[in-house]
Copies of this chain bind each other. A is one copy, B any other.
């Protein structure tokens, strides 16, 4: 089993946004958090902006990110990184289909579907997987912020201190 590319890119977007926030600031309104653009994130990872559009749309719809339109607009996390649990993120990004074929809507896909216990057993196991993931937040994923920022940011996109130094 593997996570989908959609989930992979969802996590990459969220990690980028978490890394762009200024670290160790006193808690403040999300409105002062710097925005990032889709082309900026795509360029940082060396992937296509088109791939990220669906991901960003999904994250805005789930309320995980805020999207500010217009000139100077962009996206940012809707909550601090340590408030965003990975199980919830991945459950939402992976929720595009049944765990096993018999849970799908096509009629008669498996002959024993009416009396099979597999779907229930798998459902329980996936709950265990998401519960394990919920023990981690986006902050845990981006804990090694300096080397991650080094790999992702050019000097023009790195988070800056109040004095404008990167």
Q: Which residues of A contact B (CB under 8 A)?
A: 1-5, 8, 11-12, 15, 44-46, 86, 94, 97-101, 110-112, 114-118, 121-122, 124-133, 136, 140-141, 143-144, 147-148, 151-152
- B118 x A152 contact (CB < 8 A): no
Q: Which 5 A-B pairs have the closest CB atoms?
A: A128-B132, A129-B129, A125-B132, A115-B147, A128-B128
A2 touches which of B100, B114, B131 (Cβ 8 Å)? B100
- A3 x B1 contact (CB < 8 A): yes
Using known A-B contacts A2-B99, A8-B100, determine if residue A141 contacts B117 with beta carbons closer than 8 Å: yes
- B121 x A141 contact (CB < 8 A): yes
| A143 cross-chain contacts in B, Cβ below 8 A | 117
Assembled-state Cα–Cα distance A124/B132 (Å): 7
| A133 cross-chain contacts in B, Cβ below 8 A | 121-122, 125
